[in-house]
Structure 1
Amino acid sequence: MLSGLRWLALEVKYLDRAREFYETSLDLSVREATEREVVFDAGEHALVLRRPDGVPRGGVHTHYAFSTPKPLYDDWYDRLSRDFDLVEHDFGSARSLYFYDPDGNCVEIGSTDEDGDPITGIFEIVLEVEDLPEAEQFYAGLGFETYNRGTDRKRVRMGGPFDLELWEPHLGIADARGGVHVDVGFEVDDPMAVTTEIEDRCCRVETVESGVRIRDPDGHYLTFVSSDSA
Structure 2
Amino acid sequence: MLRPDGILETALYVADLDAAERFYGEVMGLDRIAKVEGRHVFFACGTGVLLLFRPDQTLQPSRNPTMPVPSHGATGPGHACFKATPVDMDAWRGHLEAAGVEIEADFRWPNGARSLYFRDPAGNSLEIAEPKLWGLE
Match of 1:172 in 2: none
CA RMSD between the two structures? 2.2
Aligned-partner residue type, residue 75 of structure 1: A
Query: Within 5 A, what are the aligned runs for 1:52-63?
Result: 52=55, 53-54=57-58, 55-58=71-74, 60-63=76-79
Match of 1:214 in 2: none
Match of 1:70 in 2: 86
Aligned-partner residue type, residue 114 of structure 2: R
Query: Within 5 A, what are the aligned runs for 1:8-47?
Result: 8-35=10-37, 36-47=39-50
Match of 1:99 in 2: 118
Contact 2:13 2:78 in 1 (8 A): no
Match of 2:128 among 109, 120, 125: 109
CA distance in 1: counterparts of 2:46 and 2:114, whole angstroms: 19
Contact 1:10 1:60 in 2 (8 A): no
TM-score (norm 1): 0.47
Q: Which runs of 4+ in 1 moved over 4 A?
A: none
Q: Give the fraction of aligned pairs with identical amino acids, expressed as a percent.
A: 32
Aligned-partner residue type, residue 46 of structure 1: V
Larger strand share, 1 or 2:
1
Match of 2:53 in 1: 50
Q: CA deviation at 1:111?
A: 2.1
Structure 1's unaligned 5+ residue stretches are 114-122, 125-158, 163-230
Contact 1:94 1:110 in 2 (8 A): yes
Contact 2:12 2:79 in 1 (8 A): no
Structure 2's unaligned 5+ residue stretches are 59-70
Q: CA deviation at 1:81?
A: 2.0
CA distance in 1: counterparts of 2:94 and 2:36, whole angstroms: 33
Contact 2:101 2:118 in 1 (8 A): yes
Q: CA deviation at 1:59?
A: 6.0
Q: Secondary structure at the match of 1:81?
A: helix
Match of 1:118 in 2: none
Going from structure 1 to structure 2, the CA distance change for 1:59 and 1:72 (only over 3 Å counts) comes to farther
CA distance in 1: counterparts of 2:35 and 2:11, whole angstroms: 13
Cα shift readout 1:23-75 (whole Å, capped 9, x = no counterpart)? 11100101111121111011111100111213212563112210011111111
**Count of aligned pairs between the two proteins:** 117
Query: Within 5 A, what are the aligned runs for 1:117-128?
Result: none
Match of 2:95 in 1: 79
Going from structure 1 to structure 2, the CA distance change for 1:74 and 1:38 (only over 3 Å counts) comes to same
Q: CA deviation at 1:14?
A: 1.2
